[in-house]
Amino acid sequence: MYTNPRSSASAYAKVGRETGALPAAQAAASASPQTAPAQPNPGAYLPVGNAANAYAKVGLETGVVAATPHQLIVMLYEGAELALKMAIRHMNEGDVAKKSSAISKASTIISDGLRAALDLQQGGEIAQRLDALYDYMNQRLQLAHLKNQTDPVEEVLGLLQELHGAWNQIGTAPTAPLAA
């Protein structure tokens, strides 16, 4: 299944870059020295209304840095579920642009996060079945996007919630001690 810690971490990082949720440390590291301002900009502080968002972003970035590969997968499930809930909301409100963005974000998390983190070599049949299921989910999301239907989105949301629940149980299951 997700047996390679490096692939789950790099899949999470890739999704973060593509969805604009790149941790500040990575963004700072990727910035060239020529583009960094020489002096701090006193006007660059966030308005009070954005303070909560900035605080939440720092919390998320800290969580990502300290997360285990298992926790990163849980975070991917949570992100995809949230994006699908937002897509349903935007569909019901008739906001096509936001619906499109939310479905695209969920699809990216599924394909470039969850699916990319699978280790098909070591994961065996379970990994192959999950790979096929993630492919099916993305096909359903494409249909939902084209036909502006909430039913396929709700179906994918239900599937993700089942997998998320199972993944949470795996993380809380006691591990057997190693034989000496």
Conformation bin of residue 94: beta by default, left when phi > 0, alpha when psi is -120 to 50 = left
Q: Which residue pairs, CB below 8 angstroms and at least 24 apart, start in 31-35?
A: none
Going by C-alpha positions, the residue among 147, 142, 144, 119 that lies closest to residue 131 is 119
Set out the domains of the chain in order of their start, with CATH numbers.
Answer: 1-16+66-168 (1.20.120.340)
Alpha carbons 84 and 125: distance in angstroms, whole number? 27
Nearest to 111 by CA among 3, 1, 18, 4: 18
User: Kindly report the CA angle at 96 between 94 and 97, in degrees rounded to 5?
Assistant: 135
In the chain, pLDDT over 90 holds for what percent of residues?
Answer: 52
Confidence band (pLDDT; 50, 70, 90) for 44? very low
Q: What is the pLDDT of residues 127-151, one digit of tens each?
A: 999 999 999 999 999 999 999 999 9
CB atoms within 10 A of CB 78: 13
pLDDT in tens, 50-104: 554 554 455 555 555 667 888 899 999 999 999 999 999 999 999 999 999 999 9
Strand, helix or coil for residue 61: helix
- Give me the pLDDT at residue 31, please: 38
What is the structure's pLDDT at 13? 56
**What pLDDT is stored for residue 171 in this prediction?**
74
Q: Is residue 122 pLDDT above 60, yes or no?
A: yes
Measured CA to CA, the distance from residue 72 to residue 16 in angstroms comes to 11
Determine the Cα–Cα distance for residues 161 and 78; give it in Å rounded to an integer.
9
88 in Cβ contact with 96 (< 8 Å):
no
Residue 106 burial by Cβ neighbours in a 10 Å radius (0-12, 13-18, 19+): buried
Distance of CA 11 to the CA centre of its chain: 9
